[in-house]
Amino acid sequence: MRRAVCPGSYDPATNGHLDIIERAASQFDEVVVAVLINKTKSYLFEVSDRMAMLKEITEHLPNIRVDSWHGLLVDYCTVNGIATIVKGLRAVSDFDYELQMAQLNYQLSGVDTMFLPSKPHYSYLSSSVVKEVATYGGNVGHLLPATVHQRLIARLSERP
Ligand code: PNS
């Protein structure tokens, strides 16, 4: 079975993430969308909420599984028999960091990374910019799956 992982923070998942997940799902037998937990980062959404949103937006894809992991991505791959990491590349500015991670991950474990170019109209899109625009009342409805958009508006309204 050809199995891949699409790792990320997904805080929250955007249309750009979903595009990469859908395209990975068409290339592999099974794709695990893994929410990676980094203790040093602060997140808007709990891991359980990020996973719930990912499950909702990937319901139409039968070969997707959603999971979470605390630790090195390559350890997750080894434990779960995953040989390939799939990452989206939005712009040249992503490349330096992603190349370093891909080379490091390969050196650590033999797990390879495949890059998918993001669609050009998603090249500026990130969870961070979406959160910032939405925090100040800007419209981000066209950048997110509908269910994620609803949850984002609800979550921001809970904050002081
Ligand atoms: O959505 P993000 O925040 O850009 O995702 C980054 C992520 C989670 C894919 C990356 O930080 C990661 O792989 N973290 C797991 C820890 C790890 O394996 N780091 C690489 C070696 S230092």
> Mutation test of ligand 1: which of 6, 9, 100 has the most ligand atoms closer than 8 Å to its C-beta?
9
Which residue, 143, 114, 111, 115, is CA-closest to 130?
Answer: 143
| β-pair partners for 67 | 34
Q: Classify residue 140 as left (phi > 0), alpha (psi -120 to 50) or beta.
A: alpha
In the chain, what are the domains? 3-158 (3.40.50.620)
Dist. CA 58 → ligand 1 center (Å): 21
Degrees to nearest 5, angle at CA 85 with 79 and 103: 100
Q: What residue type is 55 in one-letter code?
A: K
**Protein residue with its CA nearest to atom 2 in ligand 1:** 8
Which residue, 128, 127, 139, 134, is CA-closest to 157?
Answer: 134
pLDDT digits (tens, 9 = 90+) for 24-53: 999 999 999 999 999 899 999 999 999 999
Name the pTM for this structure.
0.97
Tens place of pLDDT for every residue, the chain, 160 residues? 999 999 999 999 999 999 999 999 999 999 999 999 998 999 999 999 999 999 999 999 999 999 999 999 999 999 999 999 999 999 999 999 999 999 999 999 999 999 999 999 999 999 999 999 999 999 999 999 999 999 999 999 998 7
pLDDT at position 123 is 94
pLDDT at position 159 is 81
pLDDT at position 121 is 94
135 contacts 156 by C-beta, under 8 angstroms? yes
pLDDT at position 33 is 98
90 an active-site residue? yes
**Protein residue with its CA nearest to atom 7 in ligand 1:** 8
pLDDT at position 117 is 97
Q: Which ligand 1 atom is nearest residue 75's CA? A: 18
Per the residue annotation, which of 41, 60, 142, 159 is the catalytic one?
Answer: 41
Phi–psi pair at 140, nearest 5 degrees: -120, 10
65 contacts 25 by C-beta, under 8 angstroms? no
5 in ligand 1 pocket by Cβ < 6 Å?
no
